[in-house]
Amino acid sequence: MSEATMSDLMFTPVTELAQKVRSGELSARELVETSLGRIEELNPSLNAFVEVFADRALEEADAITPGDDRPLAGVPVAIKNNRSVSGGLLTFAAEFMGDHRSDYDHNVVTRLRRAGAIVVGTTTLPEWGILPWTNTRRFGATRNPWDPTRTSGGSSGGSATAVASGMVPLAHANDGGGSTRIPAACCGLVGLKPQRNRISQAPDAADSDLAIDGVLTRTVAETAMVLDLLEGYELGDANWAPPPAEPFAAQAAREPKALRIALTSYSPIEEADVDPVAAQSVRDAGALLEGLGHHVEEVQPPWRMPGLAEQFTAMFGPLVSLQVTLAQMLVGREPTERDMEPLSWAILSLSRQMSAMDTHGARAMLQIFARSLIRWSAQYDAILTPGLAQAPLLLDSVAPETDDPMGLFRRSGHFTPFTPGVNITGQPAIALPLYQREDGLPLAVQLIGRPAGEGELLALAAQIETAAPWADRRPGV
């Protein structure tokens, strides 16, 4: 293959890549070498990777031969650096972690490897995964391939940059308040937040009220196929989502029936102004859905609950604190203020000041909100919203050092008001890169599905993709 054709490989659907390896048309080594070459070329300017496992990846690639029937045989993937890869640095993008190396694979890594994927490296994130942009004291700014002056989102910003720029065709992500959907929206990718507890967090945790793992891809079909690989119970899980009646990939490939869809650009956060371009994208998507035979109704969801942001922070804080506690066990000491960015320290301090009653009270209030919102949304098959309230932010405006850390945290909510609610309810939601702004930046919409309804949601998303394809768009890096 020519050099240009080889570079195209990283923009090829992962099912096609695995088939090329299976048939002998391409070797796994050639695929991995292409990925590593793209990383060497682009990462110095885009800063998506924490660590690259070149020698190990090539060795694993050489062990894969034609005829390998695993669904991701030879496909290069990247793992967000808040999940363990055996032998690799585990940093959470925090200086406090030092050069700690993990000695085990997280569940998502194990399952991807079992499917034949080859981990070529780990990707950047905001410190402890807190913010919806990736710009840290430890690793610097991760840049958006569509406009390197802007953020690629967060907290899975490195993974989004790696996929959007063609360094890898597939990357791991996770989502505790939008951290898969936000970078998907910033970088023109598909980002699904699955149903709560759909993908096990083994062996690190039993479950999570807010966070769930997933992937970033270019197409809905790829997302559905990988969800089939990652979903399911692991020994010791405290809770798990009901298994699907049939594979998600099969459901995504089926034309959906006529659905009742709610359309809204009414922000859950009153102070968050929604960019008129983002609001228009929702109206345009609604017209597209009506043209596909669905009933679309503009609504004003009851999701402005007084004190909701404070209650969410009261639950999000312990999630951060849990990661720091794990880090303490790994590095053998307590963190100090000097170890952390101002916002990380502020959230950790806030969490440590909370009593058990405070935490349980916040959880109860969020459950009340979740029940109320799910009860209201039960009349619809899906809810259509903007992906983001604003265009991807300029990196110069979101530096990690600040004298007002909680003000920075509030600002992050104004950037991403439509994503955290479904982390509270647990419902699946997906960001779709349906449009582009006049300057070429991606412009996404979000679809929220019924509880445990990923199959129907993916089928609807796939129908939209067929009607208005986006996978051939590439940034000019």
Residues carrying an active site annotation: 80, 155, 179
Q: Is the peptide bond before 156 cis (omega within 30 degrees of 0)?
A: no
Residues near 459 by Cβ (< 8 Å), separated by ≥ 6?
251, 252, 253, 254, 255, 256
Whether residue 174 contacts residue 79, with contact meaning beta carbons closer than 8 Å, is answered with no
Question: What is the C-alpha to C-alpha distance for residues 23 and 39, in angstroms, rounded to an integer?
Answer: 26
Cα torsion through 36, 121, 213, 436, rounded to 10: -40
Question: At 165, which amino acid appears?
Answer: S
Question: At 163, which amino acid appears?
Answer: V
Question: What is the C-alpha to C-alpha distance for residues 78 and 117, in angstroms, rounded to an integer?
Answer: 10
Question: What is the C-alpha to C-alpha distance for residues 218 and 60, in angstroms, rounded to an integer?
Answer: 25
Residue found by looking up tokens 């990777």 in the block: 49
Residues near 288 by Cβ (< 8 Å), separated by ≥ 6?
434, 464, 467, 468
Which tokens sit at 440? 């070429």
Tell me the sheet residues that pair with 75.
Answer: none
Question: At 191, which amino acid appears?
Answer: G
Question: What is the C-alpha to C-alpha distance for residues 5 and 471, in angstroms, rounded to an integer?
Answer: 17
CB atoms within 10 A of CB 359: 16
